[in-house]
Structure 1
Amino acid sequence: MTQRVELAAVMDRLAIDSLITEYAVTVDDGDWDAYQRLFTPDGRADYSSAGGIDASAAEVAGWLAGAMELFPMRQHLIVNRKLTFGTLDQDIDDLAHVQADYVNPMRFPSNTNASASAKAGAAQADGAESMAPDFICGGRYAFTALRTDQGWRLRQVTVQEKWRQVRPRSRTEAPS
């Protein structure tokens, strides 16, 4: 390989890594317009293993917008990224596959009917536990990215949820 080809491969890897990071940020921030822009026009996402839908990026963005209203705090962590390049229509390296693990802690909204002093008392009683996520899940993503005139875009995202944990809430913490 020439240095120019090696540099192009490194730049592609960085661009794809940035695309995957942007995916996590758009979901965490609830920026559903930006979420849709990460995909090719025919892009799809499959959240069926996590109780969601398998549909176009636009349809999934709508579903996510409703589903994520339950969790005003969410923090997607996507790690252990394994990237391989493939071929599409005889063009080398225009297709990329990324396998990556995720952990996603989320919180339900706090009880807006509870008084501030009751919330403060519950927080003191629970100590560090009061900041623990109410819902946490983990699994593996399979991303397929395609090089386009606008840069790398997602063609397919498949979520394979492997586990989830729900922390019971006390009466003072119950969502409204």
Structure 2
Amino acid sequence: MTLTLQEMSDRFEIQDLIVGYCYAVDTRDWDTLDRYFTDDAVIDYSEMVGVVGSLADIKAFLSASLTPILAFQHAVSTTQYQIAGDRAQTKTACYNPMTVSNGETTDTLVFGLWYHHDFVRTAQGWKISRLYEQKCYRMNVPDWLAAQLPA
């Protein structure tokens, strides 16, 4: 398959959005998320943490819920692209180790998941219109945290 320059540019711009989202979350820079999502975006974390909402809802959720997470680092790879004009969809593997503490113990756990993104080309460039996190695996999740997560 030969890609046109526009198709290559689209892929790079979309990949920058995926990575930018991860870096914003990893650095707890919630306001930076505004530059990656459309105003009406839906973010669906239902399989991972049981929450679905608008960008404003998710920013508030992340800010409040990530307190016991001492450190996390999203690593994304192997993205599949489907681009059709001004719309696109991707599926991306994400490996996310985290260090968590409940005040008594500190553990390092790993979430493996798939990011499913929908994108739309806007006057400001590509934006994420939908993000869905599909659970793949969990490793070393302490009981106190597992009790708070969907089965």
Q: TM-score, normalised by structure 1?
A: 0.73
2:88 alignment partner, one of 75, 96, 116: 96
- Contact preservation (8 Å) 1:72, 1:109: yes
Deviation of 1:110 after TM superposition, in Å, equals 9.1
**Residue identity opposite 1:147 in structure 2:** R
Unmatched 5+ residue regions in structure 2?
143-151
Q: How many residues align?
A: 140
Tell me, what secondary structure is at the counterpart of 1:48? coil
Q: What RMSD, in angstroms, separates the aligned Cα atoms of the two structures?
A: 2.2
Show the 5 A alignment for 1:43-62. Answer: 43-62=41-60
Q: Distance in 2 between matches of 1:33 and 1:147?
A: 21
**Residue identity opposite 2:92 in structure 1:** A
Runs of 4+ in 1 over 4 A off after TM superposition: none
1:137 alignment partner, one of 111, 128, 137: 111
Indicate the structure with greater helix content: 1
Q: TM-score, normalised by structure 2?
A: 0.84
Q: Distance in 1 between matches of 2:141 and 2:52?
A: 27
Unmatched 5+ residue regions in structure 1?
87-92, 114-129, 169-176
Deviation of 1:138 after TM superposition, in Å, equals 0.5
Which region of structure 1 is more displaced relative to structure 2, 36-45 or 151-160?
36-45
